[in-house]
């Protein structure tokens, strides 16, 4: 059951762009999809947490300056 879904997923990926994929598979061998999906997922997660942290930091910093400006005014 697991294998069927995974195999069809692999076939789908292979079909997307054959020449590029042939090169990748030549390099990574039969576990190309596994290795790439592991890297892909991890890097995405890292990027997400970094970007979210930076954005929140900027947003809160702006909020703080706004609130402090209001405080100094009043």
The answer to the question of residue 11 lying near other proteins (CB under 8 A) is no
Say how many CA atoms lie within 13 Å of 72 toward its Cβ: 5
Q: Give dist(CA 19, CA 21) in Å, integer.
A: 5
Query: Which residue in the set 16, 19, 20, 29 belongs to the binding site for other proteins (CB under 8 A)?
Result: 29
Q: DSSP secondary-structure letter at 41?
A: H
Q: Give dist(CA 46, CA 69) in Å, integer.
A: 35
The answer to the question of residue 51 lying near other proteins (CB under 8 A) is no
- Which residues here bind other proteins, judged by CB under 8 A? 2, 6, 27-32, 34-35, 37-39, 41-42, 45-46, 48-50, 53-54, 56-57, 60-61, 63-64, 67-68, 70-71, 74
């Amino acid at each position: 059951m697991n294998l069927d879904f995974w195999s069809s997923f692999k076939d789908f990926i292979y079909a997307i762009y054959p020449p590029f994929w042939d090169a990748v598979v030549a390099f990574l061998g039969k576990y190309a999809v596994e290795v790439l999906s592991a890297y892909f997922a991890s890097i995405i997660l890292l990027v997400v947490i970094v970007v979210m942290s930076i954005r929140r930091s900027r947003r809160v910093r702006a909020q703080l300056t706004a609130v402090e400006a209001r405080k100094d005014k009043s």
